[in-house]
Amino acid sequence: MRHPRRARNIALGIFIFGLIALPGAVLIPDHSIPTAWHTALFIAGLMSLLLGGAFALHQHLDMRAHERLLRGEGLVARWRIDPLAWQAFLGLNRQASAEQGALANQLRLVKEAPPEGIEIIVAQDGVLVGGDFQPVPFRGTPRVENVSRLRNDQSACIELNLFYPAVRYTPTRLALRFPIPVGAEDLAAKLVAHYQASELATRGKPGIAFRKPKLFRNISLIIALLCAASFVGGLLLKDNRELGDLPLFMAVIGAVAGIGAVLLLLIVQIKLTLDRKAEG
C-alpha cells in the first residue's frame, strides 16, 4: 500500500457520491427519468454509500497507522539496505516464493533500489519498505501466524505469514518478506521476538462477533426486525403511485439485508448454544 491517504480520499469520494446519489434517487419525481436509470441511480448510490464508507474507514485507519510510523511512534527498528543488498534480497525472495506451498509476498518490490538505498522501518503498527507501507498491527488484522528468518549466502530477510480473516469474502493468507542486513543477529533476534509476541497475543483470538456473541445476537435481531418491517412496508405500499419505486426499493433492501442479518443471527445463536452445552 503505497499511498494510504490517496486510497482513503478515493474511497471518501465514492462515499460522498453515494451520499448525494441515494437521496437524489428517492427525491427525483417518478417518470421524470427512465425507470432503469432511476433504479440504477438508487443501487449505485446505495452501494457507494455502504462500500465506500466501509473502505474509507478502513483506509483512514491505515493512514493513521502510517502517520504514526512516520512520526516514530511505536518504533521497533529501522535500517537501510544498499542497492547491492537489495538485489541479493530479490534473489532470496524469488527463491522463497518458488518453494512448494510458499505464500505470495504482498510487498511491492522495486526492481532497482535508488543509490541511497532503501530505508526499512518496523513499528507497532506496520512495516515501511521504501515507500510501501504494510499495516501489521501488534494486535489486529492481519494477524501474524508465524515469523521466520530466511537466509542464503548473500542475503537475509524476515518472513511473516499473515492471516486476513476476510479478503474477497474468504480468509486469505499472505507473506510479508523484507530484507535485513546479513549478519545483523541482534536485529534479527529483536524482530523475531517482536512478531512472536504478536503471534502469541492474537493466537486463537475469535472474531469480534464471537467475542461478544450476546451483543451481536441482539444487534442482528434488531436489524432483522427492521429489515422485516421494511419488506412488509414495501409490500403494503406497492399500490401507492405517489411513492413511485420507493416501495420496491424498501422490499428489495429489506429482503436482502434481512437474509444476511438472519444468517448472522443463526450463526451467533449456534455459538451461544454450543457454549451453554459446554458449560453444562
Res 89: pLDDT: 95
Res 277: pLDDT: 61
Whether the Cβ atoms of residue 2 and residue 135 lie closer than 8 Å to each other: no
| Of 35-44, 134-143, 199-208, minimum mean pLDDT range | 199-208
- Write out pLDDT tens, residues 117-176: 999 999 998 999 988 999 898 887 788 999 999 999 899 999 999 988 754 445 688 999
Closest of 197, 205, 152 to residue 179, by C-alpha: 152
Bridge-partner residues for 157, per DSSP? 150, 179
Res 156: pLDDT: 94
Bridge-partner residues for 172, per DSSP? 164
DSSP 134-165: EE--SSSSSEEEEEEEEE-SS-EEEEEEEEEE
Rounded Cα distance, 255 and 266, in Å: 16
Rounded Cα distance, 273 and 64, in Å: 39
The three cell numbers of residue 43 are 443501487
- Write out pLDDT tens, residues 245-278: 777 777 777 777 777 778 777 777 776 676 566 5
Phi/psi of residue 127, nearest 5 degrees: -130, 135
Phi/psi of residue 149, nearest 5 degrees: -110, 125
Res 213: pLDDT: 66
Across the chain, mean pLDDT equals 83
> Which has more pLDDT, 192 or 36?
192
pTM attached to this predicted model: 0.68
> Which has more pLDDT, 80 or 204?
80
pLDDT band at 188 (very low <50, low <70, confident <90, very high): very high
> Which has more pLDDT, 90 or 247?
90
Which of the 8 DSSP states describes residue 114?
Answer: -
Sheet hosting strand 143-151, strand order edge to edge: 143-151, 156-167, 170-180
Into which CATH architecture does domain 75-202 fall?
A: Roll (2.30)
Angle at 50 between CA 48 and CA 51, to 5 degrees: 70
- Residue 204: CB atoms within 10 A of its CB come to 5
In this prediction, residues 178-203 reach a mean pLDDT of: 90
Res 88: pLDDT: 95
Res 195: pLDDT: 92
Whether the Cβ atoms of residue 158 and residue 177 lie closer than 8 Å to each other: yes
- Rg over CA atoms, the chain: 25
Res 168: pLDDT: 43
Whether the Cβ atoms of residue 145 and residue 196 lie closer than 8 Å to each other: no
Q: Is residue 181 scored above 90 in pLDDT?
A: yes
Res 208: pLDDT: 56
**Domain regions of the chain by residue span:** 4-70, 75-202, 208-279
